[in-house]
Amino acid sequence: MAAQSKKGDAVAANLPTFSTVLYEQDDQVAQITLNRPERRNALNAQLNKDLLAAFRHAGADESVRAVVLTGAGKGFCAGADLSDFAQQPTADQVYEGILTSYQPLMGLITTIEKPVIAAVNGVAAGAGAALALACDLLVMAEDASLMMAFSNIGLVPDAGACWFLVRQIGYSRAYQIAIEGERISAVQCLEFGLTNKLAAPEQLLPVTLEWAHKLAKRPTLALGLTKHALNHAARNDLASTIEYEARLQKQTIPSHDHLEGVRAFAERRPPQFTGQ
């Protein structure tokens, strides 16, 4: 127990610190928490910067094999923080802000080679909804909701929201959600395929973390490459996808976890995956 405690202390000592994000690690699961509860975790320049750095750290840390993203306080994320601008931003400022803030972050979350689970509490609105949908898997509190609020102030969905919506639920329903700008309840999100699971509000984090710990024991290399395969399949034809799958399989065949999986199957025992 003492050795285990020292190991935990060493991990804690090496964790990064941020001004707008809490970064924690329990065993092989990293938890990234948006920490601007006084602004409902609205995305400003500093939060975008901290989130990008936190996900980069989780992606590079081999001891992390699954990531949970959630929000502090009563809401997951209220979207972009318009108070970032002292006055009405120009069209060019908005254009540059979207590219510099969201393109790197959403691109990283969707390609990081380990499962990312969003634990959505309260409302995820606008860019906050896009942030939740960028994650591989979603667990929503039963009283949570997603909201594409852009059209309510005469804007087009951004932060990748269009890409995530149309891929997950198809054009017609995505268009309806985008132009009506209404809250989509957790139950509706489950029906539409926008979330994987629902949890009682007080059980949201325990349920999500339990799932993350379970996935962290899976063969991480294969799980990460599966993300690449599915993303490739979404934008390419069948022949190209089969070739890409074969190319990725060349990486998994010599891996420790594949060999361990085959041995465990032959020996009729649970596999002990290391993520390698």
Note whether 209 and 259 are same-domain residues.
no
Note whether 57 and 106 are same-domain residues.
yes
Structural domain contains residue 189: yes
- CA–CA separation, 50 and 120 (whole Å): 19
User: Does the pLDDT value for residue 5 go beyond 50?
Assistant: no
Per-residue pLDDT, 17: 94
What is the percent of the chain where pLDDT is above 70?
94
Note whether 32 and 137 are same-domain residues.
yes
Note whether 249 and 136 are same-domain residues.
no
For residue 76, give the CATH number of its domain: 3.90.226.10
User: Does the pLDDT value for residue 102 go beyond 70?
Assistant: yes
Question: What sign does the dihedral 105-74-181-153 (CA atoms) show?
Answer: negative
Strand order in the sheet with 183-185: 123-125, 145-147, 183-185
Q: Angle between the 91-111 and 127-134 helix axes, to the nearest 10 degrees?
A: 20
Q: pLDDT band for position 189 (50/70/90)?
A: very high
Picking from 80-84, 141-145, 270-274, which range would have the lowest pLDDT averaged per residue?
A: 80-84
Residue with tokens 């802000």: 97
Q: Give the domain extent around 254.
A: 220-267
What is the average per-residue pLDDT within 52-68? 97
Note whether 158 and 237 are same-domain residues.
no
Per-residue pLDDT, 250: 95
Structural domain contains residue 273: no
User: Does the pLDDT value for residue 12 go beyond 70?
Assistant: no
User: Does the pLDDT value for residue 9 go beyond 90?
Assistant: no
What is the average per-residue pLDDT within 128-150? 97
Residue where one domain finishes, among candidates 178, 201, 216: 216
Per-residue pLDDT, 13: 58
User: Does the pLDDT value for residue 173 go beyond 90?
Assistant: yes
129 and 204 in contact (C-beta within 8 Å)?
Answer: no
Per-residue pLDDT, 85: 59
Note whether 150 and 170 are same-domain residues.
yes
105 and 48 in contact (C-beta within 8 Å)?
Answer: yes
Residue where one domain finishes, among candidates 216, 233, 252: 216
Structural domain contains residue 89: yes
Note whether 130 and 242 are same-domain residues.
no
Note whether 171 and 255 are same-domain residues.
no
Structural domain contains residue 274: no
For residue 260, give the CATH number of its domain: 1.10.12
Give how many domains the chain has, as a whole number: 2
User: Does the pLDDT value for residue 30 go beyond 90?
Assistant: yes
102 and 44 in contact (C-beta within 8 Å)?
Answer: no
Per-residue pLDDT, 8: 53
21 and 32 in contact (C-beta within 8 Å)?
Answer: yes
Residue with tokens 């852009």: 150
What is the percent of the chain where pLDDT is above 90?
85
Note whether 71 and 114 are same-domain residues.
yes
Note whether 140 and 88 are same-domain residues.
yes
pLDDT tens digits for 205-242?
999 999 999 999 999 999 999 999 999 999 999 999 99
Note whether 167 and 247 are same-domain residues.
no
Q: pLDDT band for position 93 (50/70/90)?
A: confident
Of 249, 166, 136, 135, nearest to 148 by C-alpha is: 166
Mean pLDDT, the chain, integer = 92
164 and 129 in contact (C-beta within 8 Å)?
Answer: no
Structural domain contains residue 104: yes
Note whether 163 and 200 are same-domain residues.
yes
Per-residue pLDDT, 97: 87
Continuous H helices in the chain: 2-13, 45-60, 91-111, 127-134, 161-169, 171-180, 186-192, 204-216, 220-235, 238-252, 256-267
